[in-house]
Structure 1
Amino acid sequence: MGELLGYARVSTAEQTVDAQSDALRAAGCSRIWIDTASGATTSRPELDDLLTHLRPGDTLVVWRLDRLGRSLPHLLQTVESFREKDVAFKSLTEAIDTTTSGGRLIFSIFGAIAEFERNLIRERTQVGLTAARERGRVGGRPPKMTPARIKQAKRMRDSGMHLTEIAEVIGVGRTTLYRHLK
């Protein structure tokens, strides 16, 4: 059997990680990695380091699910990557342990819920876009280069002005200007 490796995270330096660390030690973790970072951030150096230490047969242990994942889909993706490496996952507060059939069942249910949520969002978005189109509304941001601006840019170019200067005067990027003056 592999090692139990713990991961704890707090969002700000003012918060304490003591309760998480105590619970992880009590669960038998031989080592604990601690990050101070928002759950929404992708930069978590201690978690990255921990992931390099995981070996087949090991179990990553967290105090609560939200300490590891930014969202349910992110959490599911992370735990699935563990499974592919023969690494188990355990959350103490939610009593989830992927080394047991019950823990795997709970994670399968989470996966189904996340997929259902994604499908609902996709369906609602499509219905909204269709309704907007039927009312004559076109999506996307308005173009920066209106016909009047294109005409002005062509006059400026024909008078010998450099394209970089034209882009600056009109207030668009050079790439946008080049695309419209082809």
Structure 2
Amino acid sequence: MADDERTVDGASTLVPTPGTGRQHRAGRAGTPPGTRAQWVTAVGQVSGLLLALRQVETEGAVLPPPLARGTALRAWSAVTRPVLRDPERLTGTDARVMDLAMVERAARVLGRSLCRAWVIGGGDVVVSVLRREATVHACGPERLVAQVARVHGALTSDDGRGARMVWDALDG
């Protein structure tokens, strides 16, 4: 079969990430890596963080996109809900590409805020909430950011091996 005659697997097709000009993997078919307990922990920690950010916003704090107006919280819920409902039937494509892209952007914003705080000291409202939520979960703020990236990476990996490598990197 010639290179131009190969079939395309829709589960790993590159699709544009809206508004970025970048390409984004739509996901892969199969059961996600990690145990149910690990997924519940990751989802709970990040959900708690995103809810806390939403709370400080309702109290008057100004959050950067995509954390503002609960956008990242809604996207996080959309991409993680299928895993918690029925992990045996999960495919990365169960989540909308836009929601996956929003979770990716949230991870970048959280990580950037934390890095900026390390370099210049102090921190903004995002870092304050990250630190407070990390204390609640008895972990470092870096771990909360990594949980967001871990879930995103596991759901958008091309194959089970790649998803496992992404998942295990946080514990390794």
Q: Same fold (TM over 0.5)?
A: no
Larger of the two Rg values belongs to structure: 1
Higher strand share: 1
Higher helix share: 2
